Amino acid sequence: MARGAGADVLERVLQSRAAPEAATLIGSGKVEELAASVKATEADLVIFDRELTPTQQRNLERALDTKVVDRTQLILDIFARRARTREGQLQVECAQLNYLLPRLAGRGIEMSRLGGGIGTRGPGETQLETDRRRIFRRLRKIEQDLERVRAGRSVHRRQRESIPIATVALVGYTNAGKSTLFNRLTGAGVLADDRLFATLDPTVRAILLPSHRKALLSDTVGFIRNLPTTLVKAFRATLEEVSEAAMVLHVVDVSSPEAVQHTAQVFKVLHEIGAASIPHLMVLNKTDLVPDSGGESDALVRRIAGQAEGEIGPRAVAISARTGAGIDALLGAIDELIPADPLARAVFRFSLRAGAEISQVHERARVVRIQYTDRYCEIEAEAPESLRHRLRRYIQR
């Protein structure tokens, strides 16, 4: 993750202890060891892989004589680098300001209170209150803007629901290959890179299923373990795309040695955002990097999801988004499991002048039989409900 933010990792330090130390998290002995390591490597930044309290961060910076960043701050920095749309930038700024607020106090002696009582507050205290007011005003403005984004998404969602085209949400741990799969299925040019959170802003594109039904595929931000609460709140508008989807494609990097933990974390986030009950299809990606993994999707699901033998949970499809292996099987599974716009066989009879309607049947239904006469064209097809409703006056039986 540190490399994803542009840092060069000089040394890693691990500690196992029964409970965190209130003042420095790691204890005085470990602080001295870490300070010596910082001096020896001439490091100008120390990153902690967990969230620090404001007091812990200040104490560590004084003891180590260098800048200290915790897990949340590092993730926010990466998110700020990846945000491209106005919505993404607002979400990141909202999370950053919420993170900064409790850390304003105690930032140097110039912000200390000079005395007690009316008229005895020093300039530092005044500046602190000014900064807080400015941040609160900015947060209110950002939240208003994000509410408008949320309202706009709701309008678009209602418009989509009026035409029964299901939305399929791609979810998964960051760097699982969601954007590569998204590009493979849709032909879109979404950035697909071997970096954390390469995709931050959600993208929606249409896909055509084997039954000729259409669905909307939504690519979302990657999940991570211990997702900071500030980020969950800030990205509520984006995560709603997942909770309102008709189906979830859970992409798992089966080549990762931490696939089990990553899968559990994604299930945890899905539960937190109210998406645990949505129809679920597990996509076992990067099988080209796992020898002889093709055709063993059940065993892979048991290993990754940590389930007992014979207790397979979500249905799974093994694929490689990079090579295209298994993509046809994946589309077939989506077509079979997607709950919206059910298929049924119908016989349509069109006049020979109804070229547009005949074209719609060929585009959106699976044609079984077609017959032309001097006066009409008769087509028997397996058609989705939305098409049958639109062309109901042409249906014979």
Residue 375 covered by a domain: yes
Q: Are 184 and 50 part of one and the same domain?
A: no
What is the pLDDT, as a whole number, of residue 193? 47
pLDDT of the residue at 60: 92
Domain range for residue 57?
A: 3-69
Q: Answer yes or no: is 226 within a domain.
A: yes
In a domain, 157, yes or no: no
Measured over the CA atoms of residue 149, residue 155, residue 156 and residue 158, the dihedral's sign is positive
Say if residue 173 is in the same domain as residue 193. yes
**Closest C-alpha among 291, 282, 277, 334 to residue 313:** 282
pLDDT band per the 50, 70, 90 thresholds, residue 5: low
User: Quick one: 189 and 322 in the same domain?
Assistant: yes
CB atoms within 10 A of CB 162: 8
Tell me, what's the pLDDT at 173? 86
**Cα–Cα distance measured from residue 196 to residue 202, given in angstroms and rounded to the nearest whole number:** 15
Please state, for a pLDDT cut of 90, what percent of the chain lies above it. 17
Based on the domain organization, do 350 and 243 belong to the same domain?
no
Strand partners, 374: none
Last residue in a domain, options 14, 45, 69: 69
Residues 235 and 167 in one domain: yes
The top-scoring range by mean pLDDT among 209-223, 266-280, 363-377 is 363-377
pLDDT surpasses 80 at 346: yes
At residue 237 the predicted structure's pLDDT band, cuts being 50, 70 and 90, is low
Q: Can you name the residues that pair with 169 across neighbouring β-strands?
A: 218, 248
Judgement on whether residues 222 and 321 belong to the same structural domain of the protein: yes
329 and 357 co-located in one domain: no
Give the Cα separation of 286 and 309 in Å (integer). Answer: 23
pLDDT at 120 over 50: no
- The radius of gyration of the chain's CA atoms, rounded to the nearest angstrom, is 27
User: What is the distance between the alpha carbons of residues 379 and 396, in angstroms, rounded to a whole number?
Assistant: 10
The Cα 179–Cα 198 span in angstroms is 8
Going by their DSSP bridges, the two strands 166-172 and 247-253 should be labelled as parallel
By the 8 A CB rule, do 35 and 65 touch? yes
β-pairing, 376-384 vs 343-351, is antiparallel
Q: Strand, helix or coil at 1? A: coil
CA distance 73 to 9: 17
The token pair at 135 is 């941040």
For 382, residues 6+ apart whose C-beta sits below 8 A from its C-beta are 211, 343, 344, 345, 365, 366, 368
- If you average pLDDT over residues 202-213, what whole number do you get? 81
Query: Taking all residues of the chain, what is their mean pLDDT, rounded to a whole number?
Result: 78
Pair 67, 43: CB distance under 8 Å: no
Reported in sequence order, the residue ranges of the chain that DSSP labels E, i.e. its strands, are 45-47, 67-69, 166-172, 203-208, 214-219, 247-253, 280-285, 315-318, 343-351, 366-372, 376-384
pLDDT at residue 377 greater than cutoff 50: yes
How many structural domains are present in the chain? 3
Q: Are residues 177 and 304 in the same domain?
A: yes
pLDDT per residue as tens digits for the range 150-181: 777 667 666 655 556 778 888 888 788 888 89
Q: Do 191 and 211 have their domain in common?
A: yes
Closest CA to 46 of 143, 354, 229, 37: 37
pLDDT tens, position by position, 9-51: 888 888 888 888 999 999 889 999 999 999 999 988 999 988 8
Nearest CA-CA partner of 317 in 338, 334, 342, 340: 334
With respect to residue 355, please indicate whether it lies within any of the assigned structural domains.
yes
Q: Evaluate whether residue 55 is within a structural domain.
A: yes
- What CATH number should be reported for the domain holding residue 244? 3.40.50.300
282 and 385 belong to one structural domain: no
223 - beta bridge partners? 173
120, part of any domain: no
Q: Is residue 125 part of a domain?
A: no
Choice among 23-32, 253-262, 301-310, 385-394 with the minimum mean pLDDT? 301-310
Q: What's the whole-model pTM score?
A: 0.66
- Examine the fold and report which residue of 313, 337, 361 is the final residue of a domain before the chain moves on: 337
Kindly report which listed range (92-106, 221-235, 255-269) carries the lowest average pLDDT score: 221-235
Residue 233 counted as domain residue: yes
In a 13 Å sphere around the CA of 101, the CA atoms on its Cβ side amount to: 15
| DSSP tag of 134 | H
Confidence band of 75 (pLDDT split at 50, 70, 90): confident
Do both 300 and 347 map to the same domain? no
Give the residue among 70, 87, 74, 50 at the shortest CA–CA distance from 221: 87
Boundary of a domain, candidates 295, 311, 337? 337
User: How far apart are the C-alpha atoms of 323 and 326, rounded to whole Å?
Assistant: 9
The answer to whether 252 and 270 are in contact (CB under 8 A) is: no
- 233 or 133: which carries more pLDDT confidence? 133
Residues 277 and 352 occupy one common structural domain: no
pLDDT for the residue numbered 211: 81
DSSP state of 32: H
What pLDDT is recorded for position 220? 73
